[in-house]
Amino acid sequence: MGFGEKLWCPQAHAALLRLLDSELYLMEVMKKWMSQRAKSEREFSAQLHSMAAMVEKLDRSQHGAGMDYISQLNKVRSSPAPSSVCVCVCVCVCVYVLESERNKTCFTFTSKCLSMLFCPVEQSWGVLVYQTDTLSHVMKKSAEDLLDGPISKLSLLIRDKQQLRKTFTEQWNLLKQELSKVHLYTSPSRTQVTQTELERMKSSYRQAAKDAAQAKRKLEEASKDKEREKAKERNIKALAKLYELHNEYVLSVRAARVYHQHHYSRIQPGLLQALQSLQEEMVLMLKEVLLEYFEISSFLNQDMVQIHGEMSSALTAINPNTEYQSFIQQNRSIGEIPDGAELECGLLDDAEQLQPGQIELNDLTLEAVQHKLTALEEELMDLARTMGSQQTSLEHLELQLEAEQEGVKRGQRIYQFSKRHALEECRQQVALSQGIRARLEVQRVLLKEKLDQLGPRDPPSALSPDPEASPPLSVTGIAHVSEGRWEGGGGSAGFPDNVLGLFSGNGGGLVLSPVGQEVERPLEQQTWYHGAIPRLEVQQLLTKDGDFLVRKSQEKPGYVLSVHWSGACKHFLVQNKDNMYCLDGESFHTIPQLIQQYQTSQQHVTKKSEVVLRRPVLKDKWVLEHDDIILGHIIGRGNFGEVYKGQLRPDNTPVAVKTCKNNLPLEQKSKFLIEARSAHTHTHTHTHTHTHTHAHAHAALYSHPTLSRILKQYDHPNVVKLIGVCTQKQPIYIVMELIQGSGDFLTFLRNQGRDLKPKALVKMAENVASGMAYLESKKCIHRDLAARNCLVAENNSVKISDFGMSRQDDDGVYLAEGGLRQIPIKWTAPEALNYGRYTTQSDVWSFGILLWETFSLGLTPYMSMSNQQTRDEVEKGYRMPAPHACPVEIARIMNNCWQYDPQNRPSFKKLRAELSAIHKK
């Protein structure tokens, strides 16, 4: 590869000129640098010579003994061969003085040098003066050699380089000029065209052709003989000129083509190759100049080698293995290692039922123990992945250092220290992780053993038995529990007003037949009783004059009759006096009897109003009765209670039933009902707190359509179906479609993912995209899309579960309030974390994380980062690399899902189509 082959274009020519200029500048710097060295050595030699002249001048000023002293010095100077010791001293002194002058430092003598100086005064002084004067001549000759040799040659080389640049530039321009004679040269701006000989010939050729055609046309038009003869003559001349120009044009084009080929194949490559050859020759000459400079300016000799040998011996005596032995001996620790934590039994003096060192498992601690065990197992799983990564890094560093240790040279060890430091740090991290694992494992074993001892049985009661309390519910009899009141009061089944309204429905204005036949049924079983729904919900249910329902009062204990009349909803508090119920007239033993009377008699509800009860609005079919559910065995445990396998009457449809424990605090029951509204087992995205007033709770929970009307819309093979809720008694039930398959998607990936081919994983991802596309079409936002919230059914089909049923506002955005304590940071889109803006596009971001989970076979995203680190890195633009063996198309889809601008992310409809196309390949 040479200049002629690769540097033929104008841009390469400009680069060559810049190269020549830079080389010229470099040689100029070298010349100035060498000249400064020669000047310094010349001045230094003059200073050394002046030292000898000064001694001689001082010696001449002495009288008598002084003359004898000088004679003795002269005798010493004239001695043909000074002793080797004195020569060594003089050389050492000269070298030290020289180096000190160059480095602008104070020179010192070693003890050995000082001992050398303490030889006989006359002899040492004579050798010192003589060798100093000799050194001045050596330095002067060195400076002259630098000027006559390297510096002179470098000046010639600079001149030759300048001439070469000039010649090359002229030759290049000449070739360019010759080439332009046979070409149409266009300037870089493409606006000015230079007329060449070839172009002028083309113009003449074009004009001759026009003249010939015109002469021929006139010949054909001539009618008279005389005119015809003249036209014929002109035609012949025009043709002759055309043929002549044609031949010349053909010859010129052929010549231009040949010259063009010759120019680019021989002439210009020859010029460039000659330049390269001369450049390489100059590089060789410059190398010789620098080597000559090095040889002249070097001051190395045997004496200096000897001094450095002694230094080396002293340094070799350093032994790292024994360096800190005395320090350890002087500062060693005294005493024994302190004891660890011990359980103080005295703390249990006032709690006789507690056993020292034993986990207490009862109805009050069961849920906390279960949650603690789950948290420990998840933490141990994350820690195992972290330790795997740490162990891999440790082994990698050990292999690297082992390979490098074999060929390490003295002085290179310092470059390995950072790796060795990292190795020890990695070992410490592994040791620390092992300690944490041991700490967590012992807790997990204690909790696991305690839960295994309990098995499927109910936990023992933590309180003393209450003879008036009802017996605990069994698993098989829970569906037939009689109606009861929670001691807290204020709501059906013991729940507050502001949460029972979650499960109200819209009967669509259906008219109930006369209620006489059902008047004996309890209020909670009446189809027109809706529980504790708020006024906002009532306004949505009552649409026509005469529509009515009965509900639980929000402001005070009791019940309210709500009726639509004259375009507005009227609310009448049912009075309760001595267990008798009335409005503004006759009293009845039960509210159903009261409602039957006013509906059948069509009398005004109160004396001051003209309101009449006409059509009861029925509860929706999604609000079920406890007696409609037959509970089976426990299939799992949720945040608030057990999950049962059950059957739905009357067709015995298999269902999954989530229950809420009776002994949960009011706040926990409220959370369970909120969870029921969202059909959500692990509600990570509900950010409303429960310390607000009832009014605030209503505003938060009922800003969207009711659960019943939402549930009617959702029917898709890739979405878990919520069948209904039971809210009239304890315990509250959430009834869902029973998925008989392999459990949640995340566990499935971790346990069976390695047995699946990529095509099967693509199909399962397509299932999720299909379900989300359906929810997208219903304007439903999931807010917690992740592998853990999907279930694997038969034939490995995937169904979306735990979708929040958050409805989009008019602008397609759901705004969440509150903190981030329960939000899954690593799955949530940036705009949702920053501004609480949940959209379908934020679900698309989560789908990208789910894709990563799928093809990593269940690994935790951003494994080595904390939640805050993940959030910061994502904001900076970091995106996870695709998992190992992930198809390229899937990696592209992931990155599209993780576009920072939500508008740039694809829709679920598009994602489903892309995944379907990938699966069909």
Report the share of the chain in percent with pLDDT over 90: 21
Which residue has better confidence, 533 or 510? 533
Tell me what the mean pLDDT of segment 758-767 comes to: 96
* Contacts by 754-760, CB closer than 8 A, 24 or more apart: 754/857, 756/796, 758/855, 758/885, 758/887, 759/919, 760/796
Which residue has better confidence, 585 or 813? 585
Q: Does pLDDT of 770 surpass 70?
A: yes
- Going by C-alpha positions, the residue among 829, 835, 837, 847 that lies closest to residue 907 is 847
d(CA 302, CA 91): 11
pLDDT band (50, 70, 90) for residue 457: confident
State the pLDDT at residue 918.
95
Residue 783 CA from chain centroid, whole number: 21
Which residue has better confidence, 764 or 412? 764
Residue with tokens 């967590």: 440
pLDDT band (50, 70, 90) for residue 309: low
Residues 6+ apart with CB under 8 A from 774: 714, 716, 718, 719
Q: What would the pLDDT profile of 571-584 be if each residue is shown by its tens digit?
A: 999 999 888 999 98
> What are the angstrom distances between the C-alpha of 149 and each of 153, 287, 288?
6, 13, 11
572 is in an annotated binding site: no
pLDDT band (50, 70, 90) for residue 661: confident
For the ranges 130-134, 679-683, 758-762, the lowest mean pLDDT is seen at 679-683
Tell me what the mean pLDDT of segment 824-846 comes to: 92
Positive or negative, the Cα torsion across 554, 556, 559, 562? negative
Which of 198-207, 208-217, 254-263, 480-489 is most confident?
Answer: 208-217
Residue 791 β-bridge partners: 744, 799
Tell me what the mean pLDDT of segment 668-696 comes to: 41
The answer to whether residues 811 and 839 touch, using CB atoms and an 8 Å cutoff, is no
- Going by C-alpha positions, the residue among 164, 161, 167, 166 that lies closest to residue 26 is 161
Q: Does pLDDT of 469 surpass 70?
A: no
635 is in an annotated binding site: yes
Residue with tokens 């020759």: 281
739 is in an annotated binding site: no
Q: Does pLDDT of 96 surpass 70?
A: no
Tokens of 679: 């059909």
Tell me what the mean pLDDT of segment 420-429 comes to: 86
Prior bond of 460 cis (ω within 30°): no
For the ranges 31-35, 192-196, 460-464, the lowest mean pLDDT is seen at 192-196
Question: Which of the 8 DSSP states describes residue 589?
Answer: S
Tell me what the mean pLDDT of segment 17-23 comes to: 87
* Burial class of residue 578 in the structure, from the number of CB atoms within 10 Å of its CB (0-12 exposed, 13-18 middle, 19+ buried): exposed
CA atoms within 13 A on the CB side of 432: 8
State the pLDDT at residue 839.
92
pLDDT band (50, 70, 90) for residue 182: low
Q: Does pLDDT of 689 surpass 50?
A: no
Q: Does pLDDT of 763 surpass 90?
A: yes
State the pLDDT at residue 713.
59
Domains in the chain and their CATH numbers? 36-158 (no CATH), 360-405+414-454 (1.10.287.160), 478-736 (3.30.505.10), 740-920 (1.10.510.10)
Positive or negative, the Cα torsion across 248, 254, 256, 258? negative
Which residue has better confidence, 478 or 178? 178
- Going by C-alpha positions, the residue among 369, 383, 394 that lies closest to residue 436 is 383
pLDDT band (50, 70, 90) for residue 672: low
pLDDT band (50, 70, 90) for residue 734: confident
For the ranges 70-84, 387-401, 415-429, 604-618, the lowest mean pLDDT is seen at 70-84
The alpha-helical segments, DSSP class H, found in 407-501 are 417-454, 497-500
Q: Which member of 497, 547, 784, 843 is catalytic? A: 784
335 is in an annotated binding site: no
Active site residue 628: no
State the pLDDT at residue 194.
41
pLDDT band (50, 70, 90) for residue 209: confident
641 is in an annotated binding site: yes
